[in-house]
């Protein structure tokens, strides 16, 4: 009778050859099933152990276990090699030319996105950086730190969307302005600070001139010697750059809880048939709100108002986009109609810049 362990070595050799010859993962799995599957050759041999004498079992048990482990290890090694080869082949063949022009059906940049990029370009040139923060805010960052005392009617005036309170009873809100971004910046960065905060804002209000989601750009400058002259110069320069035209402006006293003094800025305009011309004319249009940051706001952020002062401003991006590009109806802006987008949208590959023109 032949030595059974010699047979086992022969089986191992045969599977080694078959595994090495398997050209792909599917063929390799066929070999694995033929050897180690439920009805595979090695599994069937192991099932035969039960009919053997105790002496035979002592020899064949460990030998078959060894065979099983050897073949399983060879399958794994081959599998890894085949997977590596498949990845190499994919990397070599599936290249993508990132410089290829896009196809005929290009999407367009929404005018609101275009206008926010134009604003970022103008303010970057004046030394501002862009800051962002969460759309879902807590009461402290959206109201308390901005000098809205608890129960103050201005909280209701903001038509706030309240979230369902969490397990600890904490009720978050959809931010009603992007000011919380500036609060977060003042609490985490040392002056001098020069940032704009563009983004989505939310108020429970919907009619001809209001959508429940709208876009704002706010700005904040904090230093040791910032005064209202800086505020006026900065905003006048911004408006002229934005409308690509000399624009006559005026500042009117106003009130906001978070600035003192506060003002609104108007621009001269005239009607020209159905369209509106910004810059000259006999009428004034309110275009943004601004002011010197209220000492209570500075204190809430851990800044000493005896040392630091600053100005802040806020403007509605959607309305500025409508004015600059002549979209007549606010509600078309967020309807997602592809015909509207192909008419009013901007080429996605054209970057706004001060050198090549903003728009």
Query: Binding residues for ligand 2NL, per CB under 6 A?
Result: 179, 182-183, 216, 218, 220, 256, 258-259, 289-291, 293, 297, 312-316
3 state SS of 327: coil
**8 A C-beta contact, residue 173 and residue 196:** no
User: Minimum CB separation from ligand 2NL for residue 315, in Å?
Assistant: 5
Of 42 and 131, nearer to ligand 2NL (C-beta) is: 131
Q: What is the DSSP letter of 212?
A: S
Of 69 and 188, nearer to ligand 2NL (C-beta) is: 188
User: Minimum CB separation from ligand 2NL for residue 176, in Å?
Assistant: 10
Q: How would you write 266-326 as a 3-class SS string?
A: EEEEEEECCEEEECCCCEEEEEEEEEEECHHHHHHCCCCCCCCEEEEEEEEHHHHHHHHHC
Of 29 and 260, nearer to ligand 2NL (C-beta) is: 260
Of 133 and 316, nearer to ligand 2NL (C-beta) is: 316
- Residue 345: CB partners within 8 Å, gap ≥ 6? 107, 108, 109, 110, 111
Of 238 and 258, nearer to ligand 2NL (C-beta) is: 258
| Rounded distance between C-alpha atoms, residue 260 and residue 254, angstroms | 9
Of 179 and 309, nearer to ligand 2NL (C-beta) is: 179
User: Minimum CB separation from ligand 2NL for residue 150, in Å?
Assistant: 18
User: Minimum CB separation from ligand 2NL for residue 156, in Å?
Assistant: 17
| Rounded distance between C-alpha atoms, residue 281 and residue 267, angstroms | 10
Beta-strand pair 259-272/249-256 = antiparallel
The residue number with the shortest CB distance to ligand 2NL is 314
Two structure tokens written together for 339: 């015909």
What residues form the annotated binding site? 260
User: Minimum CB separation from ligand 2NL for residue 257, in Å?
Assistant: 9
Phi, psi dihedral angles at 282 (to 5 degrees): -105, 0
User: Minimum CB separation from ligand 2NL for residue 153, in Å?
Assistant: 17
What residues form the annotated binding site for Mg(2+)? 260
Task: Return the exposure string of 293-323: e unless at least 16 CB atoms fall within 10 Å of the residue's CB, then b.
Answer: bbbbbbebbebeeeebbbbbbbbbbbbbbbb
User: Minimum CB separation from ligand 2NL for residue 340, in Å?
Assistant: 24
Of 308 and 313, nearer to ligand 2NL (C-beta) is: 313
- Give Cα separations from 247 to 47, 140, 229, 280, 354 (angstroms): 92, 38, 18, 7, 17
Other C-beta atoms lying within 10 Å of the C-beta of residue 291: 22
């Amino acid at each position: 009778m032949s030595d059974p362990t010699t047979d086992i070595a022969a089986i191992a050799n045969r599977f080694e050859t078959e595994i090495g010859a398997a050209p792909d993962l599917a063929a390799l799995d066929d070999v694995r099933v033929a050897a180690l599957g439920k009805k595979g050759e090695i599994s069937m041999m192991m099932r035969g152990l039960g009919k053997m004498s105790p002496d035979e079992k002592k020899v064949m048990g460990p030998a078959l276990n060894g065979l099983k482990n050897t073949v399983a290890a060879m399958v794994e090694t081959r599998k890894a090699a085949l997977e590596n080869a498949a990845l190499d082949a994919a990397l070599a063949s599936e290249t993508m030319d990132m410089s290829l022009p896009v196809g005929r059906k290009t999407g367009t940049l929404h005018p609101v996105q275009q206008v926010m990029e134009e604003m970022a370009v103008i303010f970057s040139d004046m030394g501002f950086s862009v800051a962002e923060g969460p759309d879902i805010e807590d009461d402290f960052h959206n109201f308390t730190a901005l000098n809205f005392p608890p129960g103050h009617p201005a909280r209701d005036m903001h038509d706030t969307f309240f979230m369902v309170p969490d397990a600890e009873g904490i009720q978050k809100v959809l931010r009603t302005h992007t000011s919380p971004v500036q609060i977060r910046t003042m609490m985490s960065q040392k002056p001098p600070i020069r940032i704009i905060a563009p983004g989505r804002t939310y108020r429970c209000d919907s009619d001809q001139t209001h959508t429940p989601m709208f876009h704002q750009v706010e700005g904040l400058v904090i230093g040791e010697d910032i005064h209202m002259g800086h505020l006026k110069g900065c905003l006048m320069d911004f408006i002229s750059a934005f409308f690509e035209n000399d624009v006559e402006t005026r500042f009117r006293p106003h009130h906001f809880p978070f600035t003192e003094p506060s003002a609104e800025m108007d621009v001269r305009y005239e009607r020209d048939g159905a369209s509106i011309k910004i810059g000259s004319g006999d009428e004034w249009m309110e275009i943004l709100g601004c002011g010197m940051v209220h000492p209570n706001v500075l204190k809430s952020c851990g800044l000493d108002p005896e040392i630091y002062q600053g100005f802040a401003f806020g403007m509605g991006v959607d309305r500025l986009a409508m004015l600059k590009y002549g979209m007549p109806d606010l509600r078309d802006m967020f309807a997602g109609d592809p015909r509207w987008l192909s008419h009013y949208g901007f080429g996605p590959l054209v970057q706004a810049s001060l050198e090549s023109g903003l728009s």
